[in-house]
Amino acid sequence: MFDRLRDGSGVSRWAVISDTGLKLGVSRESLRRWVNQAEIDQGERSGVTREESAEIRRLRKENAELRRTNEILKLASAFFALTDAGIRSSTGTIGDSYDNALAETVNGLYKTELIYSQTWRSCTEVEWATLNWVYWWNHQRLHESLDYSTPEEVITQYNQTHAKQLAPV
């Protein structure tokens, strides 16, 4: 098709593609892509050949399958490690609290109030900040759902109330 171009006739590549596309009833852009791909496949132009594209697709699919298999094996390994330690796992997936609305709420507040509020330099820094946050949460933060008391105050009051009820007569 492009022999006319190679003989130096001065006809542009686009003119040949347009003319040929019109005769074949194919859009110029589709024909241009087909011609470019054919030149790549024949080694006349740089780019990824159809064969290489097929291999890339195959490898991506294989990679995705291996990742899924690896995730399944990790979950199974964690399950067996918990079982060996005599611990029953929750019904949710490992590492989340989606099966517990209260824990999910607390984790969301923890992330909002502490984790996302600044940039951390190290895991140790996050660990210390987390310890301080948990202490603050339990001993200083007033909780609306606890009538603006701290969890520590509520637990102390509960224990005192129940200690009186359970005391021998």
Predicted pLDDT of residue 163: 78
Task: Please state, for a pLDDT cut of 70, what percent of the chain lies above it.
Answer: 85
| 124 has pLDDT over 90 | yes
| 4 has pLDDT over 60 | no
| 7 has pLDDT over 60 | no
Q: Which two tokens stand for residue 142?
A: 């007033």
Question: φ and ψ at 114, to 5 degrees?
Answer: -120, -60
Q: How far apart are CA 23 and CA 16, in angstroms?
A: 11
pLDDT tens digits, residue range 13-71? Answer: 888 888 888 888 888 888 888 888 898 889 888 988 888 889 999 999 999 999 999 99
Predicted pLDDT of residue 145: 86
Predicted pLDDT of residue 169: 63
| 90 has pLDDT over 80 | no
| 150 has pLDDT over 90 | yes
Identify the band that residue 91 occupies on the pLDDT scale cut at 50, 70 and 90: low
Q: How far apart are CA 62 and CA 77, in angstroms?
A: 22
Q: What is the CA radius of gyration of the chain?
A: 34
Q: Compare 96 and 69 and report the one with higher pLDDT.
A: 69
User: What's this model's pTM, rounded to 2 decimal places?
Assistant: 0.39
Alpha-helix runs per DSSP H in 7-150:
13-24, 28-41, 50-84, 101-113, 123-139
> Would you kindly state where each structural domain of the chain is located, as residue ranges?
3-47, 50-89, 120-166
